[in-house]
């Protein structure tokens, strides 16, 4: 009888990757338990930055970087549900981004149209009663994207458990200017006196009029600026910046941001 060949051991790299994965999973579980034992941000706003740099660093086309970014956003929604974050607002496309090359914009518009259409049949959305909306100057978007947004908003308009807002073709200064113009028109008509204008009146005319202001603004990519995102609404928000590029965001990175928020003593003013 022929002697059985000696059993080969798994490559060291495979063993190390399994160990690393197990350690990462254990760290995520511990962090999630800690995060869920304390109040989490009611409203989390995220600047999803780094798709193009991620693509360049991994030898991908820019469009593939944006696809990876969309996939990461799908994961993020699950993480927010797990952690108990009730309101999520993500910065998907700024008004400045509309100046990017046509081929990149077309690929982005295709992603947006598909993502909003998917909302209509996404079981998570209906199971958890997530209201989905887009905020921004939507008239600047392709007609098929506008229609997909309309369908998503119509399908979820009655949900109140969670809210998921996508800032698209959005600019914070433009949003404030629109609010000022609306108030100026009311003053001109005589329905508002100048001395009646206050912060609440401005807030009531913003895209986010029915939302509480963000508690935490989280930006990826290592950049440390707001980039014209929710300028009025983030006056007293906590800020957290991570070096990781958006498509490379791990669950542990997300949980560390929430934990950092929980460890801060929030104050209004200086």
User: Which sequence positions are flagged as catalytic?
Assistant: 49, 97
Q: Classify residue 7 by burial, with Cβ atoms within 10 Å: 0-12, 13-18, 19+.
A: exposed
- Give the C-alpha separation, 229 to 91, whole Å: 7
As a residue count, the chain comes to 270
The answer to whether 220 and 47 have CB atoms below 8 angstroms apart is: yes
Which residue, 185, 191, 186, 232, is CA-closest to 208? 232
Contacts of 242 (CB under 8 A, 6+ apart): 218, 219, 220, 221, 222, 249, 253, 256, 257
- Give the C-alpha separation, 58 to 233, whole Å: 35
Which residue, 55, 118, 88, 107, is CA-closest to 246? 55
The answer to whether 233 and 206 have CB atoms below 8 angstroms apart is: yes
């Amino acid at each position: 009888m022929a002697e059985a060949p000696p059993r080969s051991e798994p490559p060291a790299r495979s063993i190390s990757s399994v160990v690393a994965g197990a350690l990462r999973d254990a760290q995520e579980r511990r962090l999630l338990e800690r995060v869920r034992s304390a109040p989490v941000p009611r409203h989390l706003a995220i600047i999803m930055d780094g798709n193009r740099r991620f693509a360049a660093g991994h030898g991908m086309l820019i469009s593939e970087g944006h696809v990876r970014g969309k996939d990461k956003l799908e994961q993020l929604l699950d993480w927010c549900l797990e952690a108990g974050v009730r309101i999520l607002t993500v910065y998907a496309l700024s008004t400045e981004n509309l100046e990017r090359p046509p081929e990149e914009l077309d690929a982005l518009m295709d992603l947006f149209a598909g993502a909003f259409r998917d909302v209509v049949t996404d079981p998570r959305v209906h199971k958890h009663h997530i209201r989905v909306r887009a905020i921004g100057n939507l008239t600047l978007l392709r007609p098929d994207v506008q229609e997909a947004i309309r369908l998503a908003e119509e399908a979820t308009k009655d949900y109140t458990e969670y809210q998921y807002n996508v800032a698209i073709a959005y600019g914070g200064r433009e949003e404030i200017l629109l609010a000022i113009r609306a108030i100026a028109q009311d003053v001109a008509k005589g329905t508002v006196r100048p001395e009646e204008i206050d912060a609440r009146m401005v807030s009531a005319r913003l895209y986010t009029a029915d939302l509480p202001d963000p508690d935490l603004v989280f930006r990826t990519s290592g950049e440390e600026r707001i980039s014209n995102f929710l300028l009025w609404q983030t006056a007293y928000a906590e800020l957290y910046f991570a070096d990781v590029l958006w498509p490379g965001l791990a669950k542990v990175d997300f949980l560390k941001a929430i934990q950092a928020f929980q460890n801060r003593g929030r104050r209004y003013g200086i």
